């Protein structure tokens, strides 16, 4: 079988029902002729595979505190999001993921929830949420909510009742006796550590027991070995599905279960760069990724989503935050009830990561995917430094070109479409509890504040984020040049215009569902081909290194001599202007330059 025939066979298998083969073998001439016509169409690529909505769109993460402030208190809110929904229409983004807006005392800025079925007054109310969903759907936008199942706030009614040992709520949380010491003293049940440093056990004087908290002491872990609690959280999903939500991003899923035998201490990691109070001083076999237990709960959540899908035949999406460390873990997550786990490999990009480095990260995403699994890519989020800071601001356009042309669902963190950078935060300005547990000399290593600064909408005061004179975090100092309005109004090239061009290009079959093949790769350049049969082929070539690279792209898999530039990163010479006809035998790219080229004489 030739390479081309093999590719066509693979494409055919993904687009044509197996029953057609049976028909060809058993039916009469007329039926067989009809089937042959269908097969011919499929091989040519005119019959695209069935795809779910979450496979065909960019997912855009909104951190609501920082997106848009409508009431001038310096904090973003739901009405602010509503006011900016047309931004996504402009970008050609069709799904938004909203970080928590639930009722919360805000010890961890919304990830400490005191009511899973209400909205924090800081962000608005349930009517505002209903309006957001309605207005989003009018624009063809799907709405994905953050679901935070691992823990609640210690101010949640459930926890207060659990402290009192009220029968229904007594075991909603993970309670244990301490280890008795001399003179009536006691110590935690074991050496387990919190992600936010120090012991993961907190003494409650009223109940006379310790409770477990993987994160802040104000975030007690819920007990999923209690069927009543499991049902409560399923009902929380139903509450939001009844209100039109299209899916959920599941937060911190690997922490959902702990072993029941709390006499087991977790082993040391043997890292000499950490002190014994830091989370990674230990490994976590007893408090992370208890897969069998998690799968059962996850399957229950999928059943809830399917209840609503069965009513209207509209897919409800579920993506999980699961930092996989092995291929086996990745496969296991893809085979779970979730649609996909986030792939976080690209979070590791840094200044030294060139073409070969990027290739290895991307290949890992595609490696060993189970049948029918769908890849995804993400550069950053509310817990990680912006990729524009990690790799360098000069690479912003190159990075967006990569994200939006790979095969799989891309997730954009707010501000990436305009090239926002981390902000400089002083210790006195810092509000993130993860950073504040450390002293001033090292807090920035752990703080998540720099990547959470307000969205830069315009060059007006406070970047158009608020009419207040202050905001919950400082606005980036570069907002006068890096902002939505200025970039949209630019006469020539801009970062947001490139983003929009690439987002529209993703609608084309080669990018929507076409094959992906690696082309030239070296320490500087990473390139690949996207194509679907009987549609134009596209070459993407990007220089992620520090020096100039000249390469020949005429050999396999491109097998062509010439092409036409359809997009560039804006920093290229005139030879590679959009619509320029280029010689593929000699493409020269300087550092941070990238091209999308339509092949014009492929075989």
| Both structure tokens of 97 | 């993921």
Query: Torsions phi, psi of 301, nearest 5?
Result: -65, -40
- Is residue 425 a contact partner of residue 450, using CB atoms and an 8 Å limit? yes
Residue showing tokens 């596209």: 538
Which residue out of 251, 394, 508, 561 is catalytically annotated?
Answer: 251
The question of whether 251 is a catalytic residue gets the answer yes
Q: Where are the alpha helices (DSSP H) in 313-411?
A: 327-334, 355-366, 387-391, 396-405
- Is residue 197 a contact partner of residue 437, using CB atoms and an 8 Å limit? yes
The DSSP call for residue 173 is B
Adjacency order of strands within the sheet including 376-378: 340-341, 317-320, 247-250, 142-147, 95-98, 59-62, 409-413, 376-378
Q: Of 425, 319, 446, 454, whose CA–CA distance to 377 is shortest?
A: 319
Adjacency order of strands within the sheet including 515-521: 515-521, 525-531, 538-543, 594-599, 562-568, 581-583
- Is residue 465 a contact partner of residue 68, using CB atoms and an 8 Å limit? yes
- Residue 156: exposure state from Cβ atoms within 10 A (0-12, 13-18, ≥19): buried
Strands 562-568 and 581-583, sheet pairing: antiparallel
Residue showing tokens 């807006």: 101
The question of whether 321 is a catalytic residue gets the answer yes
What is the distance between the alpha carbons of residues 59 and 16, in angstroms, rounded to a whole number?
Answer: 28
* 35 prior amide bond cis, ω within 30: no
Which residue out of 258, 321, 549, 593 is catalytically annotated?
Answer: 321
For the annotated catalytic residues, the residue numbers are 251, 321
């Amino acid at each position: 079988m030739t390479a081309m025939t093999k590719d066509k066979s693979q494409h055919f298998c993904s687009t044509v029902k197996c029953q057609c083969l049976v028909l060809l073998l058993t039916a009469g001439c007329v039926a067989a002729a009809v089937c042959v016509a269908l097969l011919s169409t499929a091989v040519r690529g005119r019959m695209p595979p069935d795809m779910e909505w979450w496979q065909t769109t960019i997912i855009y993460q909104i951190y609501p505190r920082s997106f848009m402030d409508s009431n001038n208190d310096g904090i973003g809110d739901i009405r602010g999001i509503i006011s900016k929904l047309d931004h996504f229409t402009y970008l050609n983004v069709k799904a938004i993921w909203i970080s928590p807006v639930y009722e919360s005392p805000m010890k961890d800025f919304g990830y400490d929830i005191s009511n899973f079925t209400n909205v924090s007054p800081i962000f608005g109310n349930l009517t505002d949420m209903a309006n957001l969903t309605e207005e989003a759907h009018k624009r063809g936008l799907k709405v994905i909510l953050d679901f935070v199942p691992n823990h609640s706030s210690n101010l949640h009614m459930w926890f207060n009742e659990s402290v009192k040992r009220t029968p229904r709520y007594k075991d909603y949380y993970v309670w244990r006796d301490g280890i008795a010491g001399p003179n009536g003293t006691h110590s935690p049940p074991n050496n387990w550590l919190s992600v936010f440093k120090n012991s993961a056990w907190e003494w409650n004087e009223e109940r006379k027991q310790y409770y477990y908290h993987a994160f802040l002491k104000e975030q007690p872990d819920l007990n999923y070995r209690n069927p009543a609690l499991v049902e409560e959280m399923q009902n929380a999903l139903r509450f939001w599905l009844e209100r039109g939500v299209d899916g959920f991003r599941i937060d911190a899923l690997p922490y959902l279960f702990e072993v029941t035998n709390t006499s087991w201490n977790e082993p040391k990691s043997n890292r000499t760069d950490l002190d014994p109070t830091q989370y990674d001083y230990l490994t976590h076999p007893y408090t992370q990724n208890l897969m069998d237990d998690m799968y059962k709960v996850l399957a229950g959540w999928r059943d809830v989503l399917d209840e609503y899908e069965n009513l209207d035949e509209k897919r409800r999406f579920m993506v999980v935050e699961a930092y996989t460390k092995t291929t086996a873990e990745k496969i296991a997550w893809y085979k779970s009830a979730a649609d996909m786990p986030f792939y976080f490999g690209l979070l590791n990009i840094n200044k030294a990561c060139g073409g070969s480095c990027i290739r290895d990260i991307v290949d890992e995403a595609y490696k060993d995917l189970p049948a029918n699994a769908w890849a995804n890519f993400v550069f950053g989020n509310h817990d990680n430094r912006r990729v524009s800071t990690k790799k360098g601001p000069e690479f912003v356009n190159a990075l967006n070109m990569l994200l939006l042309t790979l095969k799989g669902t891309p997730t954009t963190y707010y501000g990436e479409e305009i090239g926002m950078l981390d902000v400089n935060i002083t210790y006195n300005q810092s509000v993130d509890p993860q950073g504040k547990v450390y002293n001033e000399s090292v807090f920035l290593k752990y703080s998540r504040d720099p990547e959470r600064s307000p969205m830069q909408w315009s060059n007006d005061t406070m970047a158009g984020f608020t009419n207040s004179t202050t905001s919950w975090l400082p606005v980036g100092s570069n907002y006068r040049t890096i902002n939505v309005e200025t970039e949209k109004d630019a006469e020539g090239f801009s970062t947001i215009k490139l983003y929009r061009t690439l987002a529209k290009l993703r609608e084309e079959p080669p990018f929507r569902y076409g094959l992906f093949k690696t082309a030239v790769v070296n320490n500087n350049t990473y390139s690949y081909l996207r194509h679907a049969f009987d549609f134009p082929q596209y070459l993407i070539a990007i220089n992620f290194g520090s020096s100039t690279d000249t390469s020949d792209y005429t050999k396999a898999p491109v097998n062509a001599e010439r092409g036409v530039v359809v997009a560039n990163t804006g920093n290229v010479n005139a030879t590679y202007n959009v619509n320029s006809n280029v010689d593929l035998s000699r493409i020269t790219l300087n550092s941070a330059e990238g091209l999308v080229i339509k092949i014009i004489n492929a075989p």
